[in-house]
Amino acid sequence: MLKKSLHTLRYIGWAEGSSFLILLLIAMPLKYFFDMPKAVLFVGMAHGALFVLYLLSLAWVTLLHRWSIGRVFVAFIAAFIPFGPFLLDRRLR
């Protein structure tokens, strides 16, 4: 169960980080430079759902592994930084 929780956090982190990059690098330029706002609508919705899953997974890992406040804070902030979840993944491995 302990190992599975970390794997889940890592996989959701990859998905959330990827959706964030797609939102920043593809969907937002499509909206602002090519007047295609639907890209942000769909990618943003997917990213929002993945962000919530990431936070739930982080809470699960925190409870099971008894992570310190500092470690939880770093994992939380990683979700707001482009490439942050990928860097966190390297530390978790």
The pLDDT, as a whole number, for residue 92 is 85
pTM: 0.91
- As separate numbers, helices (DSSP H) first and strands (DSSP E) second, the chain gives 5, 0
The pLDDT, as a whole number, for residue 93 is 81
Q: What is the pLDDT along the chain (93 residues), one digit of tens a residue?
A: 778 989 999 999 999 999 999 999 999 999 999 999 999 999 999 999 999 999 999 999 999 999 999 999 999 999 999 999 999 999 888
User: With 0-12 CB in 10 A as exposed, 13-18 as middle and 19+ as buried, what is 72?
Assistant: middle
**Residue 26, both tokens:** 């593809």
